[in-house]
């Protein structure tokens, strides 16, 4: 920290989120807060009430008769290509032309003078269709012979069949893992302003402004240079706004150009939940062979996912599930297959962890199976199978694990959480407590950092220094609450050696940085921090050259330090120096760029180095269940998480805490439930339960592994933090599992499916009690 004492807000110090005060006082501007120009129209989606059907026609007579309705937008109004798929051509229409693919699918939009009029009028359309049979989940889809939405992936190493034949022990099982709604506070929203000629400007809440720009251009049939997409901030994205905003941007832009008026579209919460994609639920079949000590010898896993009706991001999501099906464990022989199944449900999408959590939980289930089969503490089975250094370190995708810190990290958490003693105490407690039962689990996480689509691992930034010495920072990343802008501004402040407050953080716009990637894969700071640093370095190089020539000193005698510039014996305030540089006609603006080194990936071969590095963490949770009702609570959680050399410990801790709770919600109370007609019945907070503040662990000790440093040359040796701690929530799930197992004296692996709602816990208790 010594090198940073000179300025306020440097990297590795606790700087509040730049918008923290605005967030809590309601002064932060979101898309919905933008002042509307005179004559703004409002659009609302009309949706299907059938899961799969031939679309015959839509009668809009009653809709158009409503006073205030200006018109409707259907597939026929798409001037360009009726397709907004982020990955496949002609895979996802704005509105369908002949087939309805899921219950709640947007079929048209009503455009009216007010949002309320549009919303009510949308109900009046008469949709004529001929129902077809539907398949809602991956197993039904397989039975119905449905296709994959995208090519499956296979990862293989060693000889699974041979290893299985000779192995002394083999366990086969199936695990169902539910999906998850993003439940961002701010829902989807887009606001389009028509301009002259082809032009349109769209303000919206997307993690991926460049993609929204390209989609709007594609749909309007205009070049990308006619479209500007702006995002100041999102009220949460969590992956749900990586691709799903494309629809809303397209509808707003089509309507804005059609009527040459500004158009805003904002679904209500129920429509947001039914019409946009969620986390993929999975059905995982595993076959694990192990020796008598509990060492894994072979793993064969098949990962079938409910992808919904179109591909969207299901390819990279199901790929990432396979990339994480090892979690922290070495599989000497392994074969993993993905089955990205088409289903008649909303098209599932990115969600924090991006398929990784579904892979990790399969690995943890196999560990549990082995622990119950061998009668050992699951933590011992975990440690026995950790990736080693030098040998036993090759992943199923042939990347070497060379940076594992799990031995130390898990060892420390085991000590500080007093895991061993508490486990003994809990086993003793369970012997005497008839109704309440406890469980404890300590689970590790290893998460690969980089987009597996290698070309996504690039970023740009634009930095201006104005001649009063104030600094304007822009980069291609988007702010969704994670604190990206704060961290990047810290990096810029340090590089110029000025206080953080001198840096103006500005909205993300496709006009300043082109061809950006989604702010996703936890890589926002890694990529944009480096790009911004690159821009600053270019400006500084020019400034150093100017100073050394003008003052007649060596370049190394020009030093930026603590809001000043030292030039030989002279010391100038930063702004005075900048004014002189301006008068001497030095260019004070630069575009920066960065691309992640070392990574490569051959999907056809299933080999490469898709990840630049890994982030690690571990958590230990203790729960109590009530065996009469299935209700439970989390008594205590201890977390030790690796963020390398933290750029901002207070923000990183916030990410770890939030991710843990979101992961816990996914595995406990958040249940998506479709009825037989394919209607999502859990489409509002009344029926879909995210954790409340009161559901948090009663004792919650969260620590960053402050001794960790990224071995790779990342920004200030930090590590990505957005997604990896999501999987810390798995310790709650495994602790619940132990509490359940206690009713049958831990003889049997309870095979809980996720989410382990109180009902599922109760049914598992019941099942185990009957089997004894």
Would you please indicate which residues are annotated as catalytic (active-site) residues?
723
**Smallest distance from the beta carbon of 551 to ligand MOS, in angstroms?**
48
* Residue 481 is a binding residue for ligand MTE (CB under 6 A): yes
Residue 313 binds which one of ligand MOS, ligand MTE, ligand HPA, none, with CB within 5 to 8 A depending on kind? ligand HPA
Strand 632-641's sheet: what is its strand order?
436-449, 613-626, 632-641, 699-704
Query: String of b and e for 416-450 (b: at least 16 CB within 10 Å)?
Result: ebebeebbeebbeebeeeeeebbbbbbbbbbbbbb
85 token code pair: 């798929």
Residue 560 binds which one of ligand MOS, ligand HPA, ligand MTE, none, with CB within 5 to 8 A depending on kind? none
* Residue 723 is a binding residue for ligand MTE (CB under 6 A): yes
Q: Which residue carries 């704005």 as its tokens?
A: 94
Measuring CA to CA, how many Å separate 466 from each of 530, 531, 580?
22, 19, 12
**Smallest distance from the beta carbon of 451 to ligand MTE, in angstroms?**
10
Residues 6 or more apart whose CB falls under 8 angstroms from that of 661 comprise: 691, 695, 696, 729
Residue 524 binds which one of ligand HPA, ligand MOS, ligand MTE, none, with CB within 5 to 8 A depending on kind? ligand MTE
- Angstrom distance (rounded) from CA 136 to CA 283: 13
> How many residues bind ligand HPA, per CB under 6 A?
13
Write out the DSSP string of 347-413.
Answer: PP---TTTTHHHHHHHHHHHHHHHHHHHT--HHHHHHHHB--SSSS-B-TTS-B-----HHHHHHHH
Quick one: which H or E segment has residue 132?
none
Q: Which of 47, 234, 263, 350 touches ligand MOS (CB under 6 A)?
A: 350
98 close to 55: Cβ distance less than 8 angstroms: yes
Quick one: which H or E segment has residue 162?
helix 160-166
* Residue 490 is a binding residue for ligand MTE (CB under 6 A): no
Q: Which of 334, 521, 690, 768 touches ligand MOS (CB under 6 A)?
A: 521
Q: Which region among 105-113, 212-220, 234-242, 675-683 touches ligand MTE (by CB under 6 A)?
A: 234-242
- Angstrom distance (rounded) from CA 679 to CA 275: 11
* Residue 354 is a binding residue for ligand HPA (CB under 6 A): yes
Q: Which residue number, 520 or 620, has a Cβ lying nearer to ligand MTE?
A: 520
Lay out the site mask for ligand MTE across 352-391 (x = CB under 6 A, - = otherwise): x---------------------------------------
Write out the DSSP string of 230-260.
Answer: EES--S--TTTTSSTHHHHHHHHHHHHHHHT
- 3-state secondary structure at position 438: strand
36 token code pair: 């509307």
- 3-state secondary structure at position 770: helix
* Residue 239 is a binding residue for ligand MOS (CB under 6 A): yes
* Residue 727 is a binding residue for ligand MOS (CB under 6 A): no
* Residue 527 is a binding residue for ligand MOS (CB under 6 A): no
Which residue, among 350, 346, 341, 345, has the nearest Cα to 149 in the 3D structure?
341
Query: String of b and e for 271-306 (b: at least 16 CB within 10 Å)?
Result: bbbbbbbbbbbbbbbbbbbbeeebbbbbbbbbbbbb
89 token code pair: 């051509």
Lay out the site mask for ligand HPA across 138-177 (x = CB under 6 A, - = otherwise): ----------------------------------------
Q: Which region among 178-186, 280-288, 347-355, 602-610 touches ligand MOS (by CB under 6 A)?
A: 347-355
- Angstrom distance (rounded) from CA 428 to CA 440: 13
Q: Which region among 445-453, 502-510, 611-619, 730-738 touches ligand HPA (by CB under 6 A)?
A: 445-453
* Residue 655 is a binding residue for ligand MTE (CB under 6 A): yes
- Angstrom distance (rounded) from CA 185 to CA 169: 48
Residue 724 binds which one of ligand MOS, ligand HPA, ligand MTE, none, with CB within 5 to 8 A depending on kind? none
Lay out the site mask for ligand MOS across 186-215 (x = CB under 6 A, - = otherwise): ---------------------x--------
Q: Which of 9, 355, 524, 606 touches ligand MTE (CB under 6 A)?
A: 524
Q: Which residue number, 450 or 523, has a Cβ lying nearer to ligand MTE?
A: 523
**Smallest distance from the beta carbon of 260 to ligand MOS, in angstroms?**
35
451 token code pair: 């987009």
Q: Which residue number, 277 or 678, has a Cβ lying nearer to ligand HPA?
A: 277
Residues that bind ligand MTE (CB under 6 A): 236-239, 352, 480-482, 484, 519-525, 655, 658, 722-723
Residues that bind ligand HPA (CB under 6 A): 242, 313, 316, 320, 350, 354, 451-453, 456, 518, 520-521
Residues that bind ligand MOS (CB under 6 A): 207, 239, 242, 350-352, 354, 520-521, 723
């Amino acid at each position: 920290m010594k090198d940073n004492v000179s300025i306020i807000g440097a990297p590795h110090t606790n700087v509040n989120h730049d918008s923290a005060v605005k967030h809590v006082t309601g002064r932060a501007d979101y898309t919905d807060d933008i002042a509307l120009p005179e004559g703004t129209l409002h659009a609302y989606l009309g949706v299907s009430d059938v899961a799969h059907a031939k679309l015959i026609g839509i009668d809009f007579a009653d809709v158009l008769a409503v006073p205030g309705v200006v018109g409707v937008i259907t597939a026929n109004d798409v001037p360009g290509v009726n397709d907004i798929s982020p990955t496949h051509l002609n895979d996802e229409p704005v509105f369908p032309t002949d087939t309805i693919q899921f219950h709640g699918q947007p079929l048209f939009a009503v455009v009216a003078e007010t949002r309320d009029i549009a919303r009510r009028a949308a109900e009046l359309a008469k949709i004529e269709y001929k129902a077809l049979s539907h398949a809602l989940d991956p197993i039904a889809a397989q039975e119905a012979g449905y296709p994959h939405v995208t090519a499956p992936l296979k990862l293989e190493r060693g000889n699974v069949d041979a290893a299985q034949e000779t192995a002394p022990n083999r366990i086969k099982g199936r695990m169902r893992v539910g999906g998850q709604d993003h439940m961002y506070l701010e829902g989807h929203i887009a606001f389009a302003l028509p301009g002259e000629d082809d032009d349109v400007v769209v303000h919206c809440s997307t993690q991926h402004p460049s993609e929204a720009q390209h989609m709007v251009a594609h749909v309007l049939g205009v070049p990308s240079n006619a479209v500007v997409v702006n995002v100041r901030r999102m009220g949460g994205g969590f992956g749900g706004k990586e691709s799903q905003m494309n629809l809303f941007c397209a509808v707003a832009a089509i309507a804005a150009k059609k009527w040459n008026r500004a158009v805003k579209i904002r679904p209500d919460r129920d429509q947001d939940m039914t019409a946009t994609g969620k986390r993929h639920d999975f059905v995982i079949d595993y076959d694990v062979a192990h020796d008598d000590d509990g060492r894994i010898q072979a793993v064969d896993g098949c990962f079938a996912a409910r992808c919904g009706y179109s591909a969207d991001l299901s390819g990279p999501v199901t790929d990432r599930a396979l990339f994480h099906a090892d979690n922290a464990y070495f599989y000497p022989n392994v074969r993993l297959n993905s089955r990205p199944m088409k289903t008649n449900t909303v098209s599932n999408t990115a969600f924090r962890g991006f398929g990784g959590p579904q892979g990790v939980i399969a690995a943890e289930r196999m560990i549990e199976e082995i622990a119950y089969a061998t009668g050992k503490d699951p933590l011992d089975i975990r440690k026995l199978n950790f990736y080693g250094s030098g040998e036993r370190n090759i992943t199923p995708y042939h990347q070497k694990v060379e940076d594992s810190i799990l031995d130390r990290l898990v060892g420390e958490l085991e000590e500080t959480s007093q895991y061993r003693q508490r486990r003994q105490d809990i086993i003793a407690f369970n012997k005497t407590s008839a109704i309440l039962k406890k469980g404890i689990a300590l689970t590790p996480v290893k998460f690969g950092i980089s987009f597996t689509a290698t070309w996504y691992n690039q970023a740009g930034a634009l930095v201006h220094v104005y001649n009063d010495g104030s600094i304007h920072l822009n980069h291609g990343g988007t702010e969704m609450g994670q604190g990206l802008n704060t961290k990047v501004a810290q990096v810029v402040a340090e590089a110029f050696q000025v206080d953080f407050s001198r840096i103006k953080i500005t909205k993300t716009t496709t006009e300043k940085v082109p061809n950006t990637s989604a702010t996703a894969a936890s890589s926002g700071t890694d990529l944009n921090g480096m790009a911004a640093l690159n821009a600053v370095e270019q400006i500084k190089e020019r400034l150093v050259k100017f100073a050394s020539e003008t003052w007649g000193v060596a370049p190394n005698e020009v030093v930026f330090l603590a809001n000043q510039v030292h030039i030989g014996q002279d010391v100038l305030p930063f702004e005075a120096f900048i004014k002189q540089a301006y008068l001497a006609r030095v260019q004070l603006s630069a575009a920066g760029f960065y691309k992640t080194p070392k990574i490569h990936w051959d999907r056809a071969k299933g080999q490469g180095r898709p990840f630049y590095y890994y982030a690690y963490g571990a958590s230990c949770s203790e729960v109590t269940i009530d065996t009469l009702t299935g209700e439970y609570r989390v008594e205590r959680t201890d977390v030790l998480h690796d963020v390398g050399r933290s750029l901002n410990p207070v923000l990183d801790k916030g990410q770890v805490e939030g991710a843990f709770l979101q992961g816990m919600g996914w595995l406990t109370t958040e249940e998506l439930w479709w009825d037989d007609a394919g209607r999502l019945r859990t489409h509002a907070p009344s029926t879909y339960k995210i954790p409340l503040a009161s559901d948090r662990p009663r004792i919650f000790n969260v620590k960053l592994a402050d001794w960790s440093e990224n071995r790779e040359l990342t920004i200030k040796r930090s590590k990505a933090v957005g997604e990896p701690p999501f999987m810390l929530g798995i310790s709650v799930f495994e602790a619940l599992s132990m509490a359940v197992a206690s009713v049958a004296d831990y003889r049997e692996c309870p095979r809980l499916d996720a989410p382990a709602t109180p009902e599922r816990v109760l049914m598992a208790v019941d099942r185990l009690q009957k089997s004894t």
